[in-house]
């Protein structure tokens, strides 16, 4: 037995996904490390960049130990020539003062404070414009540089009534007139669960920071546009295939993630609508967070129903629906209180989804590897963001990247599934076309066969009639030469009409009636009896296959005539409508008096004449005719129905 490699049981497509996952995680790790490696830190409220070359594309994070003054809003003049100096503490940023303790007690989350640091710049940057990027912090703030107000978000107050929230990330510019910069930040919080900054305040050249801001905004726009297209695309697919509810759930999940992206990051919704109410912005943000898990689990449950425990799925759907309803109806101060219990349920929900996808991989379900690896990437980025939000790790927010990777992989797999279905339908269409072609070929073969059979019947019927007539002429030549001459003339005219119309598919009904009259005239002379023909309701434009009534009259003389019989014929036509379809109804009647009456009708016959008529009708009206015949109270009846076009 040959040795197998450790990855031989993994499909090639799954190996590709694993490779992409490892590369993405490596890039994220390298980006974080390269950002922090070798860069200065704030130490005891001071950062010295005098020996640091602040070149383009370099971003300095003002991370480290800042001076901290709780429940004080201090300005530059408060620190000048102060004797004794103000009592200060230090706080590590990014970080929250409610996590800081003094005398064994934590500071209150709701309140106000001052953050301060002193920055020494390279002399080359003196009188050169620099830029600060201040992230959103769910706290209001105002920022001073050398006593000049350079940025403000909301209104900073010493009470909840004086404070107005506004948390948009901002890019601000400042031109230092010396190499020393005093940075003071006033922060107030009376709404959020944490007080401080959970992301780094950044410093860089004007060009670098503008480019960075544009890149972040472009990334948000790209993700928003991608999610919109993905949502719309899968909703359109659902409208075409309403039985596949996974497409609907994935579309709604994409739409919810779109709302999440609009209300986070660079807050694109506020850029579009600057006067949008901030409390509703935060509520919508939390709604998007809490509605994503139930739609995601619904989507996974539809894709892998056999691996999904329905009770557990419905339990999670109910829990997150309750969270969403609570967010809508509760007071704003309680909104962020729901975050911790919701995160716990999200963790269990994520584990449940991992369990579903793992079972699908073990059972070798189609595309299970792609779903699992895309979800693992999202799970790791969400876990990173939760730890980052709790200030446990110092990284960045990566959930948008994880979301995009998940959506891209799932969209690719669903598109692959749809493409496979399309190719199956296309193959079936080709097979159907071939089947139709074969049926059409068989039909034409049958038509050709029927034509040959029809020609054979024509050759059979006409000699039969001719022989009977010649036998009668032979008899009358010896008995009554003048009468035989009349029979011969009538027969010649009849044969002339037969030769004229026999090869045609349809002839005017008037020609068919004339042929019937000549034949009855020949039979009158032959049999020395008075035969009558009654015609009614025909129009000059009516068309009919040749020799149809002629054949019926000839059959009547063969099977119905006798010495005591007094035959008379009737041919009638009328238009009828049945089941919204129009028909031409032809009635052929043979009246034979002084014969035994038979009332039991028959519906089928195997005579040569009737078979000839059926072939003629099929040739002219394929599938649109019917013929019934049988005994009637006064004789014999044939009914022909022909559907009109």
Tokens for 304, please give them: 């892998």
- Indicate the pLDDT class of residue 601, thresholds 50, 70 and 90: very low
User: Which residue, 264, 265, 262, is CA-closest to 225?
Assistant: 262
Q: What is the phi/psi pair of residue 324, to 5°?
A: -65, -45
> What sign does the dihedral 263-265-270-272 (CA atoms) show?
negative
Instruction: Give percent of the chain with pLDDT exceeding 90.
Output: 11
Residue 568 in tokens: 């008379």
Q: Which residues contact 90 (CB under 8 A, 6 or more apart)?
A: 44, 45, 65, 66, 67, 68
Q: Is the pLDDT of residue 598 over 80?
A: no
Confidence of residue 413 (pLDDT cuts 50, 70, 90): low
pLDDT at position 382 is 74
Taking the C-alpha atoms of residue 446 and residue 440, their distance in angstroms, rounded to an integer, is 10
What pLDDT was estimated at residue 523? 82
pTM of the model: 0.57
Other CB atoms within 10 A of residue 479 CB: 9
What is each CA distance from 186 to 92, 261, 265, in whole angstroms?
A: 16, 28, 22
Q: Residue 583 forms beta bridges with which residues?
A: 576, 643
Distance CA 28, CA 40 (A): 21
The two counts, helices (H) then strands (E), for the chain are: 14, 22
Domains within the chain, CATH numbers bracketed: 46-200 (2.60.120.260), 225-425 (1.20.1070), 480-643 (3.30.565.10)
Which pair of tokens denotes residue 315? 């339990």
Q: How far lies 566's CA from each of 529, 558, 591, 638, in Å?
A: 8, 14, 8, 19
Distance CA 243, CA 416 (A): 18
Q: Which two tokens stand for residue 605?
A: 């016959």
What is the pLDDT averaged over residues 89-98? Answer: 88
Whole-angstrom distance, CA of residue 247 vs CA of residue 467: 78
Q: pLDDT per residue over 545-563, tens digit each?
A: 888 888 888 888 877 777 7
What average pLDDT does the chain have? Answer: 78
Place of tokens 């920055």: 119
CA atoms within 13 A on the CB side of 119: 28
pLDDT for 329-340, tens place per residue? Answer: 888 778 878 888
The three-state secondary structure class of 627 is strand
Indicate the Cα dihedral angle 277, 282, 284, 286, nearest 10°: -170
Helix (H, G, I), strand (E, B) or coil at 619: helix
Name the pLDDT band for 114 (thresholds 50, 70, 90).
very high
Instruction: Work out the pLDDT band at 415, boundaries 50, 70, 90.
Output: low
Cα distance between residue 387 and residue 297, in whole Å = 23
Q: What's the mean pLDDT in 437-452?
A: 63
Give the mean model confidence (pLDDT) for residues 288-315: 89
Q: Give the least confident one: 25-34, 307-316, 405-414.
A: 25-34
Give the per-residue pLDDT at 477: 66
Backbone angles phi, psi at 166, to 5 degrees: -165, 120
Q: Give 74-95 as a DSSP string.
A: --HHHHTT-SSPPP-EEEEESE
Torsion of CA 151, 152, 158, 161, to 10 degrees: 180
529: helix, strand or coil: coil
Question: What number is the average pLDDT over the span 281-292?
Answer: 88
> Which residues fall within 8 angstroms of residue 332, CB to CB, at 6 or more apart?
191, 279, 282, 283
Residues 6+ apart with CB under 8 A from 89: 67, 68, 69, 70, 100, 102
Instruction: Evaluate if residue 611 carries a pLDDT over 70.
Output: yes
CB 593 within 8 A of CB 431: no
Distances (CA, A) of 278 to 255, 331, 437: 21, 13, 67
Query: How far is it, in rounded angstroms, from Cα 511 to Cα 431?
Result: 47
Give dist(CA 167, CA 109) in Å, integer: 17
pLDDT at residue 316, as a whole number: 92
> Rounded distance, CA 187 to CA 95, Å?
13
What average pLDDT score do residues 433-460 get?
A: 62
Distances in Å between the Cα of 251 and the Cα atoms of 49, 227, 296, 314, 520 are 50, 9, 10, 19, 80
581 phi, psi to nearest 5 deg: -120, 140
Cα-flanking dihedrals φ and ψ of residue 256, to 5°? -65, -40
Token pair belonging to 528: 């020395």
Residue range 418-438: average pLDDT?
69
Supply the Cα-derived Rg of the chain in whole angstroms. Answer: 48
Alpha carbon dihedral 229, 231, 237, 242, in 10-degree steps, equals: -160
Task: Please answer whether residues 543 and 507 qualify as being in contact, where contact means their C-beta atoms are separated by less than 8 angstroms.
Answer: yes
Is 219 buried (19+), middle (13-18) or exposed (0-12) by CB count in 10 A?
middle
Most confident of the ranges 47-61, 171-185, 332-346, 468-482? 171-185
| Mean pLDDT value across residues 509-533 | 83
What pLDDT is stored for residue 118 in this prediction? 92
Q: What is the DSSP letter of 226?
A: H
Q: How confident is the model at residue 20 (pLDDT cuts 50, 70, 90)?
A: very low
User: For residue 641, what are its two tokens?
Assistant: 């129905």
Q: 512 — phi, psi (to 5°)? A: -65, -40
Q: How far apart are the first and last CA of the chain?
A: 73
């Amino acid at each position: 037995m040959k040795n197998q490699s450790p990855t031989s049981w993994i499909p090639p497509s799954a190996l590709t996904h694993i490779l992409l996952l490892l590369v993405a995680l490596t890039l994220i790790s390298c980006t974080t490390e390269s950002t922090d490696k070798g860069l200065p830190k704030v130490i005891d409220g001071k950062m010295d960049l005098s020996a640091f070359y602040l070149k383009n594309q370099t971003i300095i994070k003002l991370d480290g130990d800042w001076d901290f003054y709780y429940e004080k809003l201090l300005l530059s003049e408060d620190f000048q020539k102060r004797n004794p100096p103000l009592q200060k503490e230090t706080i590590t940023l990014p970080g929250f003062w409610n996590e800081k303790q003094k005398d064994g007690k934590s500071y209150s989350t709701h309140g106000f404070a001052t953050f301060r640091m002193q920055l020494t710049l390279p002399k080359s940057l003196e009188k050169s414009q620099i830029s600060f990027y201040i992230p959103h912090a769910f706290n209001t703030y105002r920022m001073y540089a050398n006593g000049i107000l350079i940025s403000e978000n909301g209104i900073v107050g010493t009470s909840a009534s004086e404070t107005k929230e506004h948390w948009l990330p901002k890019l601000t510019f400042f031109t230092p007139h010396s190499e020393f910069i005093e940075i003071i930040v006033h922060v107030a919080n009376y709404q959020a669960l944490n007080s401080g900054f959970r992301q780094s305040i950044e410093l860089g050249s004007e060009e670098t920071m503008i480019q960075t801001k544009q890149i972040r905004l472009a990334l948000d726009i790209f993700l928003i546009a991608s999610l919109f297209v993905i949502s719309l695309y899968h909703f359109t697919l659902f409208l075409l295939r309403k039985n596949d509810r996974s497409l609907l759930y994935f579309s709604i999940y994409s739409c919810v993630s779109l709302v999440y992206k609009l209300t986070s990051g660079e807050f694109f919704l506020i850029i579009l609508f600057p006067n949008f109410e901030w409390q509703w912005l935060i509520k919508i943000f939390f709604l998007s967070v809490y509605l994503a898990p139930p739609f995601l689990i619904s989507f996974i449950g539809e894709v892998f129903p056999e691996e999904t425990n329905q009770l557990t799925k419905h339990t999670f759907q109910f829990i997150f629906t309750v969270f969403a309803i609570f967010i809508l109806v509760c007071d704003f101060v309680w909104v962020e209180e729901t975050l911790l219990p919701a995160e716990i349920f999200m963790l269990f929900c994520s584990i449940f989804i991992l369990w579903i996808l793992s079972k699908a991989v073990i059972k070798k379900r189609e595309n299970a590897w792609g779903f699992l690896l895309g979800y693992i990437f999202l799970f790791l980025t969400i876990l990173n963001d939760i730890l980052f939000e709790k200030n446990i790790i110092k990284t960045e927010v990566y959930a948008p990247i994880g979301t995009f990777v998940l959506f891209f992989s799932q969209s690719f797999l669903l598109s692959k599934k749809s493409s496979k279905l399309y190719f199956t339908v296309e193959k079936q269409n080709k097979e159907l076309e071939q089947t139709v072609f074969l049926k059409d070929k068989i039909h034409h073969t049958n038509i050709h066969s029927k034509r040959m059979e029809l020609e054979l019947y024509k050759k059979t019927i006409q000699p039969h009639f001719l022989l009977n007539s010649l036998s009668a002429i032979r008899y009358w030549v010896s008995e009554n030469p003048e009468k035989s001459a009349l029979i011969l003339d009538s027969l010649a005219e009849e044969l002339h009409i037969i030769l004229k119309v026999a090869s045609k598919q349809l002839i005017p009904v008037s020609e068919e009636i004339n042929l019937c009259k000549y034949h009855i005239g020949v039979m009158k002379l032959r049999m020395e009896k008075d035969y009558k023909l009654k015609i009614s309701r025909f129009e000059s434009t009516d068309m009919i296959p040749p020799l149809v009534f002629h054949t019926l009259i000839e059959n009547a003389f063969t099977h119905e005539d006798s010495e005591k019989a007094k035959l008379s014929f009737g041919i009638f036509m009328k238009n009828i409508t049945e089941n919204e379809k129009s028909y031409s109804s032809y009635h052929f009647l043979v009246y034979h008096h002084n014969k035994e009456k038979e009332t039991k009708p028959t519906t089928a016959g195997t005579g040569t004449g009737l078979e000839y008529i059926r072939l003629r009708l099929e040739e002219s009206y394929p599938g649109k005719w019917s013929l019934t015949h049988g005994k009637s109270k006064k004789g014999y009846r044939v009914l022909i129905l022909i559907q009109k076009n």
